[in-house]
Amino acid sequence: MFRNLFGIKKSYSQEEIITSPMVGDLVDITNVSEPVFSQKMMGDGVAIVPTDGVVVSPIDGVVLNVFRTKHAIGLRSKCGIEIMIHIGLETVELNGEGFETYVEDGQSVNKGDKLLSFNLEKIRSKSYNPISPVVITNMDEKVAKMEKLNIDNTVFRGTPIMKVLLK
């Protein structure tokens, strides 16, 4: 109460920097043509228009779920933030064709560890949009504030893309 009355800003106990899992052009999640992402139904985040097909871990944590079709992966950071990396739109229809995974459910990962690879040309040749959302799926439970970094810039694996202040 006194914090608000006297204009004292709340201090957050932890901050997490989420880095880019791939190389490409970073855009806001609202620019994704699929409403489930652009309307933030899965959570808030960013999207990357990839220029190559290698995906690395954007956090230190654990693999929650490698989708059977290998087009998406769920992670949990050591601070409890849950992230989904979804390669392309509607790529679930490829049934894993053109995707290769290097991790399994429950495996510990560090920033920069290779998670999966995908054939970007195959995705494009089958007329799928390669834009790849990176979303925080437990925003309401864990995130007090999020700042998106490097929007509308080319990013590389390891470039900071989101700064998260935890509740």
pLDDT of residue 122: 94
In a domain, residue 158? The reply is yes
Tell if the pTM clears 0.85, that is, is over it.
yes
Q: What is the pLDDT of residue 138?
A: 98
Residue 3: which pLDDT band, with cuts at 50, 70 and 90?
very low
Domain contains 19: yes
The total of structural domains in the chain comes to: 1
- Whether residue 13 is predicted with pLDDT greater than 70 in this model: the reply is no
Contacts of 11 (CB under 8 A, 6+ apart): none
What pLDDT score was predicted for residue 1? 46
Residue 71 is among the residues annotated as catalytic for this protein? no
Q: For residue 6, is it within any domain?
A: no
- The per-residue pLDDT for range 48-72, each reduced to its tens digit, is 999 999 999 999 999 999 999 999 9
Does 29 map to a domain?
Answer: yes
In a domain, 2, yes or no: no
Within a domain: 119: yes
DSSP H or E run through 123: helix 120-125
- 5 found inside a domain: no
Q: Which residue in 70, 71, 86, 142 is the catalytic one?
A: 86
CATH code: domain of residue 156: 2.70.70.10
Nearest to 75, CA basis, from 40, 38, 49, 104: 104
| DSSP code per residue over 55-108 | EE-SSSEEEEEE-TTSSEEEEEETTS-EEEEE-SSSGGGGTTTTEEE---TT-E
Question: What's the domain range around 16?
Answer: 12-166
